[in-house]
Structure 1
């Protein structure tokens, strides 16, 4: 099921291209089966919690897209409830492009990748940032013990839709630790 993702992504021009390519009927059939809504389940929560990073896309005031990688130790992204994820936004290069973008347009897209298992979770949502000093309880709850990065902000996404993607063109990649664990057997 699309979990509201198709409702957001499949605009009229997208549907027209799907129709021309012959794929519209299969996507329409998926929609006819019903949409489970944008509620994260246990499978999504486990997948999100296992990630050590993701790609975050936002759009600036001039309409230009911006994509960046957000990373941390596995588990730094937390499912707060079935419609909300959050993470400690660690100090980076201090450019504030994503933070500036969402101050005017809070719509974002996240790609969470599992390269070893060739899986991808796509997510649409509304992102807000809160300075860590203004939310000390949230900062403490999202802190990663032993991880030396400074928490600048708390990032919270209200999930609008999500979808799992087919693995057809996802390359299988392993970190050194994953490769060594696989080699040991």
Structure 2
């Protein structure tokens, strides 16, 4: 388990008379191995939020989605998830390669319930793990340092939404509509140029109309 509280944490805790409570939560809730029910919760999720930090210390948070179970519990201290086709910036993956520290937030908006996981990530570029994820360009393996359930009282309750049609399957993956934008096509990776050209060009205005209509 990592050291959670530094000087400024303690100063704020003392300011709000919550040091005793903070110490209690650290003792009762925070652990380095996933309990069986936490493993099951993660395996049931079809999305999570990933926080990473770049070489300069700037954080970013991204949404990661897939079919239920796309985040795998390899063991009580290790998770893995696929890196799917993206926008080519590799912000999260590049950050992990540069600075291994990551945070993962798993939420159920129906219950509601949430689980926080912190650890060190590793980019896996090839091999059995990558091949085991349909449509993955790479995989991320996370060695867990801390996990804990967070109070769900401020989570807005929402019904389950439809799975994105872009989640890779054994049958393939639909072309991302933004790859059809005329100003983007010359800059696409070679593997995407022919499919994008075949699908037909879009102006940025036409793409914007599809975004508004929810057909992307």
State the TM-score, normalizing by the size of structure 2: 0.70
Instruction: Structure 2: state its 5+ residue gaps.
Output: 163-216
Cα distance change of structure 1 residues 18 and 59 upon mapping to structure 2, 3 Å threshold: same
Deviation of residue 56 (structure 1)? 0.4
Paired residue total: 163
Contact 1:106 1:128 survives alignment (8 Å): yes
CA distance in 2, matches of 1:55, 1:32: 25
Match of 1:23 among 8, 15, 18: 18
Using CA pairs below 8 Å that are at least 6 residues apart, which structure has the higher relative contact order? 1
Q: Looking at secondary structure, tell me which structure has more strand per residue.
A: 1
Contact 1:19 1:25 in 2 (8 A): no
Task: Pick closer, same or farther for the CA change 1:121–1:8 going to 2, 3 Å.
Answer: farther
Q: Which runs of 5+ in 1 are unaligned?
A: 144-149, 178-185
CA distances 1:17-68 after superposition (whole Å, capped 9, x unpaired): 01111111112234456x7730111111110001111000011112111000
RMSD: 1.9
Runs of 4+ in 1 over 4 A off after TM superposition: none
Query: Computing the radius of gyration over CA atoms, which structure comes out larger, 1 or 2?
Result: 2
Q: Which residue of 2 aligns with 1:167?
A: 152
Q: Specify whether residues 112 and 141 from structure 1 end up closer, same or farther in structure 2 by C-alpha distance, changes over 3 A only.
A: same
User: Cα 1:151–1:176, aligned 2, differ >3 Å: closer, same or farther?
Assistant: closer
**Is 2:44 the counterpart of 1:50?**
yes
| Cα displacement string for residues 159-182 of structure 1 (whole angstroms, at most 9, x for unaligned residues) | 0101111111110011246xxxxx
Matches within 5 A, 1:101-140: 101-131=95-125, 134-135=126-127, 137-140=128-131
Q: TM-score, normalised by structure 1?
A: 0.81
Q: Counterparts in 2 of 1:27-106, with a 5 A limit?
A: 27-31=22-26, 37-106=31-100
**Cα contact 1:8–1:161 (8 A) shared by 2:** no
1:158 aligned residue: 143
3-state SS, counterpart of residue 101 of structure 1: helix
Q: Deviations over 1:89-129 (max 9, x none)?
A: 11111110111111221001111111101111111110111
